[in-house]
């Protein structure tokens, strides 16, 4: 019998307790042995009792789990950095295999966690940390291991995808949809990490490290959130054949240099990720052998996330039954350069309010031209008698050149305001 010690019986922990109970027979048959819950660490015992967990199994002391010789696998689902980090390290040093869904922790302390797992010859699995119920870490590490991965682009945050979908389909504004998302329990009480892009940044740091075999941490990821997106931008995106999505992007260039970024982007309406709506997540991967593939599903929630955690518990249990560990450990065996955003190039959408009089467009075009920014298209909308809204799309340009042009433009009397600047992504695919 494989015995599990669970840390945290909140949303995901409850899903794990339920799944290990409701599918116990199937899980035992697939694993080759029963998997049972032995102890649960939880400061609010009621949460566990409501799930039918016996009171004798509940503890508030981590030592009751890490010092229990019967426990094979510790499942960390309390979240955050501390005490989760110390608890995991303690568990590994006590010879326990570890499963976690904690993206916050892996995105900053992945290297230490893997090193401790290796030193103690234990497995460390974390499928649920990226895109909840969608299998993506296992496929990248195993099923796609024969490929050179070229890029991974994800819609990795359900809250922001829900907000952008509602703004696009129902014409709602940002604040009202955010309030609705909080009411429905999609967004956190403090949604900063979701709308600011940091939740997606943690997830793409994890995926980049695996895809390119080189450690990428949260600090390495360029992050922009969705708070600046307005219904105007969404309307123009639609008019031009795009949708706006918060994308988490990582790519490797021919020199083996990595880029990792999270920002809103204009995505061609025929891109596979463009149809991923509401709270759904998806991860689009391009490998040199497999070509384009997309993984789609629920990126959060009790049972979907529980599904990924239980999958990891089963995989480790199989390893235990075959007396093997670290079969698939840390895959970061290289130390690749991570490019700064200013070293990258992109196509851009620029929306600006300008004076509507002769010579203005020529003046603006001149500034872009002087800074090596080539314009692909211009749309002009007259808003008031003497004011116009300009919507420009650039060719692929250096980030630095675009920033230099915008600095000059902001100082010109003919430019009222640079309203928004959004990158285009996915325009180089053969379909476009
Ligand atoms: P919850 O806040 O719902 O659950 C955490 C539970 O752990 C709470 O019951 C909490 O108690 C308890 N807890 C926290 N610290 C301690 C402690 N020191 N000792 C004892 N109990 C403690 O979080 P989630 O289930 O939503 O998330 C768990 C992990 O899964 C996080 O790392 C999260 O990022 C990740 N995740 C979550 C997803 C989701 O859909 N929710 C999706 C993918 C990943 P209290 O309520 O008193 O704080
Ligand atoms: N807050 C996250 C989301 C939950 O909105 O996707 C899953 O990490």
The tens digit of pLDDT for each residue in 345-393 reads: 999 999 999 999 999 999 999 999 999 999 999 999 877 778 999 999 9
Nearest to 133 by CA among 4, 281, 286, 293: 281
Q: Does residue 396 share a domain with residue 368?
A: yes
pTM score of the predicted model: 0.97
CATH number at residue 13: 3.40.50.720
Residue 231 within any structural domain of the chain: yes
Q: Does residue 394 share a domain with residue 270?
A: no
- What is the number of structural domains in the chain? 3
Q: What is the mean pLDDT of the segment spanning 191-199?
A: 95
Q: What percentage of residues in the chain have a pLDDT greater than 90?
A: 94
Q: Does residue 156 share a domain with residue 202?
A: yes
Residue 112 has pLDDT above 70, yes or no: yes
Q: Does residue 266 share a domain with residue 156?
A: yes
CA distances for 58 relative to 6, 44, 386, angstroms: 10, 9, 70
Q: What is the mean pLDDT of the segment spanning 54-79?
A: 98
Q: Is 417 a catalytic residue?
A: no
Site to substitute for ligand 1 among 10, 74, 84, most atoms within 8 A of C-beta: 10
Q: Which atom of ligand 1 is nearest to the CA of 12?
A: 25
**Gap between the Cα atoms of 44 and 58, Å rounded:** 9
Residue-wise pLDDT for 290-341, tens only, equals 999 999 999 999 999 999 999 999 999 999 999 999 999 999 999 999 999 9
Q: Does residue 78 share a domain with residue 203?
A: no
**Gap between the Cα atoms of 223 and 157, Å rounded:** 13
Choosing from 3, 203, 245, 347, which is the catalytic residue?
Answer: 203
Residue 330 within any structural domain of the chain: no
Q: Which of 264, 298, 332 is the last residue of a domain?
A: 298
Q: Does residue 95 share a domain with residue 7?
A: yes
Residue 119 within any structural domain of the chain: yes
Q: Does residue 250 share a domain with residue 363?
A: no
Q: Does residue 365 share a domain with residue 416?
A: yes
DSSP-derived letter for residue 105 is H
**Predicted pLDDT of residue 431:** 62
Q: Does residue 149 share a domain with residue 129?
A: no
Q: Does residue 154 share a domain with residue 45?
A: no
Q: What is the mean pLDDT of the segment spanning 72-80?
A: 97
Is the beta carbon of 301 within 6 A of some atom in ligand 2? Answer: no
Q: How confident is the model at residue 430 (pLDDT cuts 50, 70, 90)?
A: low
Provide the 3-class DSSP secondary structure of residue 126: coil
Residue 406 within any structural domain of the chain: yes
Q: Apex CA 363: angle with CA 360 and CA 367, to 5°?
A: 140
**Predicted pLDDT of residue 188:** 72
**Predicted pLDDT of residue 186:** 76
Q: What is the mean pLDDT of the segment spanning 412-430?
A: 94
Q: Does residue 206 share a domain with residue 249?
A: yes
Average pLDDT over all residues of the chain: 96
**Predicted pLDDT of residue 1:** 96
**Predicted pLDDT of residue 337:** 98
Q: Which of 321, 352, 383 is the last residue of a domain?
A: 321
Q: How confident is the model at residue 7 (pLDDT cuts 50, 70, 90)?
A: very high
CA of 400 from ligand 1 middle (Å) equals 41
Residue 410 within any structural domain of the chain: yes
Q: What is the mean pLDDT of the segment spanning 249-265?
A: 97
CA of 95 from ligand 1 middle (Å) equals 24
Residue 306 within any structural domain of the chain: yes
Q: Of the ligands numbered here, which is closest to the C-alpha atom of 106?
A: 1
CA distances for 127 relative to 85, 137, 307, 322, 394, angstroms: 17, 5, 10, 21, 38
Residue-wise pLDDT for 129-151, tens only, equals 999 999 999 999 999 999 999 99
The answer to whether 37 and 4 are in contact (CB under 8 A) is yes
Cβ-in-10-Å burial (0-12, 13-18, 19+) of 230 comes to: middle
Pairing of strands 258-268, 222-223: parallel
Q: How confident is the model at residue 187 (pLDDT cuts 50, 70, 90)?
A: confident
**Predicted pLDDT of residue 414:** 94
CATH number at residue 251: 3.30.360.10
Site to substitute for ligand 2 among 165, 192, 199, 309, most atoms within 8 A of C-beta: 199
Residue 408 within any structural domain of the chain: yes
Q: Which of 233, 266, 298 is the last residue of a domain?
A: 298
Helix axes 24-31, 11-22, angle to 10 degrees: 80
Q: What percentage of residues in the chain have a pLDDT greater than 70?
A: 99
Q: Does residue 116 share a domain with residue 174?
A: no
Residue-wise pLDDT for 154-164, tens only, equals 999 999 999 99
Is the beta carbon of 389 within 6 A of some atom in ligand 2? Answer: no
CA of 121 from ligand 2 middle (Å) equals 31
CA of 87 from ligand 2 middle (Å) equals 23
Residue-wise pLDDT for 222-240, tens only, equals 999 999 999 999 999 999 9
CATH number at residue 395: 3.30.70.260
CA of 257 from ligand 2 middle (Å) equals 29
Pure H helices in 23-102: 24-31, 45-49, 63-66, 84-93
CA of 22 from ligand 2 middle (Å) equals 25
**Predicted pLDDT of residue 385:** 74
Site to substitute for ligand 2 among 100, 157, 226, most atoms within 8 A of C-beta: 157
What are residue 396's phi and psi, to 5 degrees?
Answer: -65, 120
Residue 336 within any structural domain of the chain: no
Instruction: Give Cβ neighbours of residue 247 (< 8 Å, ≥ 6 apart).
Output: 153, 154, 155, 262, 263, 264, 265, 267, 273, 425
**Gap between the Cα atoms of 214 and 139, Å rounded:** 17
Which residue range forms the structural domain that includes residue 63? 2-133+302-321
Pocket residues: Cβ below 6 A from ligand 1: 8-13, 41-44, 47, 77-79, 83, 101-103, 128, 132, 300-301, 305
């Amino acid at each position: 019998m494989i015995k599990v010690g669970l840390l945290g019986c909140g949303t995901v922990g409850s899903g794990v307790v339920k799944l290990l109970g409701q599918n116990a027979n199937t899980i035992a048959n697939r694993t080759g042995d029963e998997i049972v819950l032995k102890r649960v660490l939880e400061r609010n015992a009621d949460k566990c009792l409501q799930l039918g967990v016996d009171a004798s199994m509940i503890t508030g002391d981590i030592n009751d789990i890490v010092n229990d010789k019967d426990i094979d696998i510790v499942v960390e689902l309390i979240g955050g950095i501390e005490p989760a980090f110390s608890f995991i390290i303690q568990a590994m040093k006590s010879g326990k295999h570890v499963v976690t869904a904690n993206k916050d922790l892996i995105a900053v302390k992945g290297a230490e966690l893997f090193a401790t797992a290796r030193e103690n010859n234990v497995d460390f699995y974390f499928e649920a940390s990226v895109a909840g119920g969608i299998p993506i870490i296992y496929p990248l590490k195993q099923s796609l291991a024969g490929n050179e991965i070229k890029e991974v682009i994800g819609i990795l945050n359900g809250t922001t995808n829900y907000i952008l979908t509602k703004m696009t389909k129902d014409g709602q504004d940002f604040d009202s949809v955010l309030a609705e998302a909080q009411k429905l329990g999609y967004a956190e009480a403090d949604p900063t990490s979701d709308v600011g892009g940091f939740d997606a940044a943690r997830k793409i740091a994890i995926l980049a490290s695996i895809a390119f075999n080189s450690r990428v941490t949260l600090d390495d990821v360029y992050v922009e959130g969705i708070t600046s997106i307005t219904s105007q931008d969404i309307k123009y995106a639609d008019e031009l054949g795009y949708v706006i999505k918060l994308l988490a992007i990582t790519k490797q260039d021919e020199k083996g240099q990595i880029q990792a970024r999270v920002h809103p982007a204009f995505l061609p309406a025929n891109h596979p990720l463009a149809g991923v709506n509401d709270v759904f997540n998806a991860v689009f991967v391009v490998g040199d052998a497999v070509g384009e593939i997309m993984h789609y599903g629920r990126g959060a929630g009790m049972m979907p996330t529980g599904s990924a955690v239980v999958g990891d518990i089963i995989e480790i249990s199989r390893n235990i039954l075959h007396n093997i560990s670290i079969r698939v450990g840390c895959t970061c065996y290289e130390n690749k350069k991570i490019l700064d955003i200013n070293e990258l190039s992109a196509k851009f959408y620029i929306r600006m309010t300008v004076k509507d009089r002769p010579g203005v467009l020529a003046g603006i075009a001149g500034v872009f031209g002087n800074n090596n920014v080539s314009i692909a298209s211009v749309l002009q909308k007259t808003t008031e008698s003497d004011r116009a809204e300009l919507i420009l799309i650039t060719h692929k340009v250096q980030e630095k050149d675009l920033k230099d042009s915008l600095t000059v433009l902001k100082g010109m009397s003919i430019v009222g305001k640079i309203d928004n600047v959004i990158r285009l992504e996915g325009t180089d695919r053969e379909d476009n």
